[in-house]
């Protein structure tokens, strides 16, 4: 079970932002921006590369909703999904990072 599945199951607490039957958004425990939210599907798909176009489309729509819910649609924001080792993925459960709340630098290589 991934840490995000445990969050979905309520076994690990989270600071919830928005939820529906299929998706959950909550604040990242180690924020990399003034606003840092994770949007995840409740079912576990390992990463972006393995996700179906339908799931990705629904996750994109949910991500838009989350951004609007916290007002990031007005100021601007960034959506990132890390994939595999070089992508810096730590949790093997598809998630979009929603970052905002200030001007963001654009990283390349570590
Ligand atoms: P990744 O590196 O896989 O793209 O991102 C995983 C993210 O999950 C990291 O930004 C990390 O801070 C966050 N994270 C890991 N464990 C927890 C947790 O238990 N609760 C919350 N809210 N975020 C977590």
| pLDDT tens readout for residues 1-29 | 999 999 999 999 999 999 999 999 999 99
> How far is the CA of 7 from the CAs of 4, 25, 47, 74, in angstroms?
5, 11, 17, 29
* Helices (H), ranges, 1-110: 3-8, 53-69, 72-75, 84-87
- Structure confidence at residue 84 as a pLDDT band (50, 70, 90): very high
pLDDT (average), residues 35-44: 98
Q: Is residue 110 a part of any domain in this protein?
A: no
For the chain, the average pLDDT equals: 96
Q: Which residue numbers are catalytic? A: 95
- pLDDT of 107 reads 75
29 Cβ closer than 6 Å to some ligand 1 atom: yes
Atom 12 (ligand 1): residue with closest C-alpha? 30
Q: Is residue 108 a part of any domain in this protein?
A: no
Q: Is residue 49 a part of any domain in this protein?
A: yes
Q: What does pTM read for this prediction?
A: 0.97
83 Cβ closer than 6 Å to some ligand 1 atom: no
How far is C-alpha 63 from the chain's CA centre? 8
- pLDDT of 58 reads 98
* 52 Cα–ligand 1 center, Å: 22
Atom of ligand 1 nearest to the CA of 90: 3
Distance (Å, whole) CA 39 – CA 62: 8
Distance (Å, whole) CA 6 – CA 82: 20
Give the number of domains in the chain: 1
């Amino acid at each position: 079970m991934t840490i995000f599945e445990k969050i979905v199951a309520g076994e690990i607490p989270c600071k919830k932002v928005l939820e529906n039957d299929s998706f959950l958004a909550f604040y990242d425990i180690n924020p990399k921006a003034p606003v840092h939210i994770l949007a995840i599907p409740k079912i576990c798909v390992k990463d972006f590369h393995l996700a179906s176009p339908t799931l990705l489309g629904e996750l994109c729509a949910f991500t838009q909703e989350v951004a609007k819910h916290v007002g990031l649609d007005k100021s601007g924001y960034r959506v990132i999904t890390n994939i595999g080792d070089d992508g810096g993925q730590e949790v093997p459960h598809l998630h979009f990072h929603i970052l905002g709340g200030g001007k963001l630098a654009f990283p390349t290589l570590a």
